[in-house]
Amino acid sequence: MSSGPPGRHTSKGARATGRPGAHDTMATPGEGPLMDAHRDDRPGAAPLSFLGRRVPPAFRARVVTIGPGGALAYEAAAWADALVIVERGALELACADGGSVHLTGGDVLWLAGLPVLALRNPGHEPVVLTAVSRHPRPGA
């Protein structure tokens, strides 16, 4: 498994499939394109978090937990229109080119249109993600 600083795209990394250790809960009814991950490293800056917060009625928040060593196959429709926050833990995105991106708590990313194969947890603690997206419009 490759390693690197958060948000760093590396050229090493196995491709993962399946979803062992993944749990998905609904909260309501640089190199390459993967460098879109963001972290506010200013001194005293609090990381963005939606855990325990309500989102406006036009939005929904989904909490996804991936257990230690677990993986979640990337399905574009499940992440469409979602701003994703790494709430805690370590997340590795396995990419179609064989590379990977490493993210940690406080990182923010957008997966739509990116060549991601799987979301993996390389750590020993669960990784918790919050995906915030708009509710689908009626008739859309």
**How much is the pLDDT for 88?**
95
CATH 2.60.40.1080 fits domain 8-40+47-134: no
Q: Return the sign of the alpha-carbon dihedral for residues 29, 39, 87, 78.
A: positive
pLDDT, one tens digit per residue, over 46-88 is 777 878 888 888 999 999 999 999 999 999 999 989 999 999 9
Q: Where are the domains of the chain?
A: 8-40+47-134
Beta-sheet strands, E only, within 6-81: 8-10, 22-26, 59-66, 71-73
**HEC per residue, 74-128:** CCHHHHCCEEEEEEECEEEEEECCCCEEEEECCCEEECCCCCEEEEECCCCCCEE
pTM above 0.85, yes or no: no
Closest residue by Cα to residue 101 from 80, 86, 82: 86
Q: What percentage of the chain exceeds 70 in pLDDT?
A: 67
